[in-house]
Structures are given as structure tokens and as C-alpha cells.
Amino acid sequence: MSTLEIRDLHVSVETEAGPKEILRGVNLTVRSGETHAIMGPNGSGKSTLAYSIAGHPKYQITRGSVTLDGEDVLSLSVDERARAGLFLAMQYPVEVAGVSVANFLRTAKTAVDGKAPNLRSWVKDVNGALEKLGMGTDFAQRNVNEGFSGGEKKRHEIAQLELLDPKFAILDETDSGLDIDALKVVSDGVNRFHGKGDKGVLLITHYTRILRYITPDHVHVFVDGRVAEEGGPELAEKLEAEGYASYQKAGSSS
């Protein structure tokens, strides 16, 4: 049983006009076994939250804390956060020039585990993960994200999730840009991960449609750099019907 706890998190980025505060006091607790959906309009700071937890150097924590089982996450390097069991699937996965999927996955697994995986079982695991995501094994020979379609990029993120086996997965708009078949494949992958039983999932999304395939225990409406409302799965249905307009009006007057 693990707990990822975000308390009063304030985050700024440096802009030409000086520091700009993007997160304005985020509170969120995710326990293993739970799936939390963070839903919010574009520009509300969802990706900033994901990057801040993962340790992106561009985001400056000005106040608050992130802890994993009481341990201060914010004082850890990006690598240490991964070894502690945090995984981030990025909204816009980046190309890694000249590095094959097979090499990338093995390097990442070695870094996270602190030792190289057993070669024979590892190759089997990789091929199995790719197969479950509807990819041929030749996919492993392609360079990471080079010329990948939107769906291939997201499937590759889910392959990492399956193979690296973190405690907590932060999935940043893993559903955006997917057609319905890819959405099902990706959702199945997230559900397999969650089905291991002791995993926490923070599912960041702009649209409600992925929540037809992945049922969250908790839904958080994220507006203007903080959680504006919390509820159960029924909150997603309300958002589906009403959108974010009521929250944004409330946010702009504050």
C-alpha cells in the first residue's frame, strides 16, 4: 500500500515577462489501487502538474510538497523518482534520435530496476507487451517516436508502463488523438496495469470519452491551476453534459 500525496503545490515557469504562476495550490492524494481522473480545459495546468511530479527542470516549485509514502519526491532527481516508482506518460512524447524502441526500453528498465533484466525473459516480455498493444515485434527495431503515428506514440507509452511496472502512473492525455480502436487498446493496457491490484493511476484528460473504458474512483475538475471540484465517476458525466464553462466563469472572477 503506497500513497502519493500532493499538498498545496504552487508551481511557476520562467517567462520573458518574469515568473508566471501556473499551479496555485494543488491538493491531491492517490493511494495504490485507486484511479483518479484529472479533467480540465486546455491551459489549466494539467501537464504542468504531471511534469512537476516527474521532475521537469523547467517547472519551479515555489510552495507545497509532493511525497511518496512520506518521502520528499521534490528533492529527488528525475531518475530517483522513476526508481521510487513514479512513471509519467507524456502528452507529447519526444523523439529519441537513433535509439531503437528495444534499446530504449531495456535502458529504461535497467535504470529503474538498478540492474539489467534477464535477457531471455526480457525479450519475451517486450514482445508480449507489444503484442497485447496490437504491435508487431518489428516495432521494437524502430527509433523511438521517429515517424510514429499518434496511436503508435501512445501505445509505446503504454508498453513502457507495462514493462517498467511503476507504483504510480501519471498518464497525460494518453487518449488524445486516438481513434476508437487505439483508444480501446490503450485503455485495455491501463486497465491491465490497474488490475495488478496495488497500482495508482492519475489519468489526465481533456475529454470524457476515455472514461467509458477506464472507470475512475475519483474525478477532479482542474481549472486555473487548482482542483475546483472533486467527486466520483458521476462528475465525469456532468462534465460530459455541461463542459467546463461554469467552472471557468467562477475561476475568472477570483
Confirm if 178 and 213 have CB atoms less than 8 A apart: no
If one asks whether residue 187 binds Mg ion (CB under 5 A), the answer comes out as no
Which residue lies nearer to Mg ion by CB, 32 or 205? 205
Backbone angles phi, psi at 225, to 5 degrees: 80, 15
What is the rounded distance in angstroms from the CA atom of residue 132 to the CA atom of residue 55? 30
Bridge partner residues of 6 (DSSP): 28, 66
If one asks whether residue 48 binds Mg ion (CB under 5 A), the answer comes out as no
Which residue lies nearer to ligand ADP by CB, 19 or 136? 19
Which residue lies nearer to ligand ADP by CB, 59 or 168? 59
If one asks whether residue 174 binds Mg ion (CB under 5 A), the answer comes out as no
**Least distance between ligand ADP and beta carbon 126 (Å):** 30
What is the rounded distance in angstroms from the CA atom of residue 224 to the CA atom of residue 245? 12
Three-class SS state of 190? helix
**Which residues of the shown chain bind ligand ADP in the complex (CB under 6 A)?**
13, 15, 20, 22, 40, 42-48, 58
Binding string, 98-137, against Mg ion, x = CB under 5 A?
Answer: ----------------------------------------
Residues near 132 by Cβ (< 8 Å), separated by ≥ 6? 162, 188, 189, 192
If one asks whether residue 44 binds Mg ion (CB under 5 A), the answer comes out as no
Chain residues binding Mg ion by CB under 5 A are: 42, 46-47, 91
